[in-house]
Amino acid sequence: MDQLSEIINEELEVKEVFRIPIFGGIPVSESVVVTWIIMAVLILCAFLLTRNMTLHNISKRQALAEWIVTKLSGLVEGMVGERGKAFVPYLCTVMLYVGIANISGIFGFKAPTKDLNVTAALALMSIVLVEAAGIYYLGVRKWLHKFTEPIAVVTPINILEVFTRPLSLCMRLFGNVVGAFVIMELIKTITRNILLPAVFCLYFDLFDGLLQAYVFVFLTSLYIREEIE
């Protein structure tokens, strides 16, 4: 059991990969490096898929690119609404990033979403985007007035929501990823055959990872939609 605890603690520990030698040395964690790798993969794939695009007689590569963009955009547009169309590329990118980050453990990397800094950054960006969208679409007065709706007495709760929303987004993602990881480690330790962990891996690493990416984007879209409509 102690061994298991040690393994889990070690796996959950975010290691420092290197230090940037300014301001007395800024540590760069494993999650940031893995994020760079994910970024590189995503950008490279996007670049390769959209090279030499034509209007007619499209290649399989182009068809795949069009399919990905159309499906993702359609999915996100359905959640964020017609008015929030401008946020679709951001939300699609976040979905791709979180999805790949959650399942990156399968490829031998330490999932960046196991680092609270990553989920907090994602939640922070989401909530900044939500409030910025509110100010942009409604104007400052209406945006402020929205805090007093439906009745003035709920204003403190509405203000509190500005902080609880990103917190819940951040903790939900972090908790789910860490929880799935811990359960998988327990299953791997308890059982000795290979089939059972493989089946659970499909659920906890693949399904749950992708589901969390969807939930994160779904909630962010919902907040944006609530704010601008």
Q: Is residue 36 near another protein by the rule CB under 8 A? A: yes
> Which of 3, 24, 55, 198 touches another protein by CB under 8 A?
55
Rounded (5°) CA angle 172-175-180: 120
Stretch that binds another protein, among 41-49, 145-153, 194-202, 217-225 (CB under 8 A): 41-49
Size of the site for another protein (CB under 8 A): 46
Nearer to another protein, 89 or 179 (CB): 89
Lookup: tokens for 69: 């963009």
Is residue 28 near another protein by the rule CB under 8 A? yes
- Residue 126 φ/ψ, nearest 5 degrees: -60, -45
Distance in Å, CB of 208 to another protein, minimum: 19
Closer residue to another protein in complex, CB, 43/144: 43
The yes or no reply on residue 47 touching another protein (CB under 8 A) is yes
How far apart CA 165 and CA 123 sit, in angstroms, is 8
User: In angstroms, what is the minimal distance from the CB of 45 to another protein?
Assistant: 8
List Cβ neighbours of 186 (8 Å cut-off, separation of 6 or more).
Answer: 4
What residues between 125 and 154 interact with another protein by CB under 8 A? Answer: 125
| 76, 118, 169, 177: residue in contact with another protein (rule CB under 8 A) | 118
The residue behind tokens 């984007």 is 217
Residues 168-207 interacting with another protein (rule: CB under 8 A): none
155 binds another protein (CB under 8 A): no
Q: Which residues of this chain interact with another protein, rule CB under 8 A?
A: 12-14, 26-29, 31-32, 35-36, 39, 42-43, 46-47, 49-50, 53-55, 62, 65-66, 68-70, 73, 89-90, 92-94, 96-97, 112, 114-118, 120-122, 124-125
